[in-house]
Structures are given as structure tokens and as C-alpha cells.
Amino acid sequence: METPGNALGEEIEFAAGKGTYTENEVVRASLCGSKDIDEKKRTISIKPCFATAENIKVGQRAYAVIDSVGETHAMMTIFDYEKEHGGKRVNFVSDFAMMRIEGVKSFGVFMKNMSEAVRVGDIVKVEVSKIERGGIDVIMKGKELGVVKAFCSSCRRPLVLNKDNKLFCQNCNRTEARKIASSYIEVML
């Protein structure tokens, strides 16, 4: 059983197939499942151990909590889809998603590491960019998408948005960087 981030093979030998991504010339799993090697096509894929959510669509916006942050990607749990149903928001069961660094970068903006945009525990507003069987990819490009609630990396208290549009911890007197959404929330969720 492979889990997200597991090394599956070298990019020089195999291309990344469904349910995988490439990082530093290594093909890695982007979801849980069994490794599948296609010798003819020279690809490595993941056969997912679970099905994709049926009630989420490409282009849909959602809220998520960041579970882990790697150098070039972040894994998250989507907990609330922005879907209107009879004038009321409907909450569905949680799903897991991955966001690659390319899904955050804007033209002309240099980002060395995903931790410049998000940190573990942040609540983010994202857009679904791709759905494969067993995997959801999201992006965070655009002014309205990004971190809507952040917590201090040191003391875990909520960060407030100051007048310079920077996130500040009133407990530690620290300033932290994130890719902030236009709808950053000043109160505890």
C-alpha cells in the first residue's frame, strides 16, 4: 500500500502516471493505493484504494485544512464545499486533496518553497482543478483564494491581519508570510 509522498521510482526510468507526481526527478504517490507499472508505456500509476467524491466538481470552490506541507506540494482535507442548495450551504463529508506549488504561483512571483504560501493547520479557500479516480488536485490562484485563517507557527494562536497586509501573532510578536485570501477571517472559526 502506497501513501501520498512515497517514492515509487526514478523519473529517468518511468514517467509519472495517474495518481502520481514528480519531485526532484523521483516519481511519488499523490494518493493512497497500490503501485501499477506499465512496462510498455514506461509509466508508474497508483490504483486508488478509495473512490473520488461524486459531489465535488472541477471548478468548484471549497474550504480545506492543511495537513502537511512539502517543498513543492501541500496535502489537505477538504471539509466544506461552496455549493448552494435551495439557498443554503450544504456540507458534505471530508475528502483529501493535493496542491502543487504551480497551483499557487502567480506570473512573475518567485516561490522557493510551499511553506511560503501555507503552513500546517491553516484554513484555505481553494478551487478544484482536477479530479482523478481517488485524487483531487486543487489550486489557490487568484485574489479570492488563499489562506482565510492562519495560526502562529510557534504558539499556534490565530494570526491577525495588520494594516500592512501581513499576518501578525499578538502573543509572540511574530510576522509570518502566507498567500492570503481577500476574505481573511479575523475571528476564530
- Which tens digits make up the pLDDT trace of 84-98? 444 444 444 457 888
More confident residue, 110 or 23: 23
> Given 3.30.1360.100, 3.90.950.10, 2.40.50.140, 2.10.109.10, which CATH number is that of 51-189?
2.40.50.140
CA 34 to chain centre: 22
pLDDT over 90 (residue 140):
yes
3-state secondary structure of 84: strand
The whole-angstrom separation of Cα 108 and Cα 118 is: 19
CATH 2.40.50.140 intervals, the chain = 51-189
- Which tens digits make up the pLDDT trace of 18-33? 878 888 889 888 767 7
**Rounded average pLDDT over 4-10:** 85
Q: At a CB cut-off of 8 Å and minimum separation 6, what does 50 contact?
A: 32, 33, 134
> Given 3.40.50.720, 3.30.565.10, 2.40.50.100, 3.10.20.30, which CATH number is that of 7-48?
2.40.50.100
pLDDT of the residue at 109? 67
2-6, 42-46, 176-180: range with lowest mean pLDDT: 2-6
The whole-angstrom separation of Cα 75 and Cα 100 is: 9
Q: For strand 15-16 and strand 43-48, is the pairing parallel, antiparallel, or unpaired?
A: parallel
More confident residue, 131 or 91: 131
Q: Count H helices, E strands: the chain?
A: 0, 17
pLDDT of the residue at 84? 45
CB of 53 closer than 8 Å to CB of 128: no
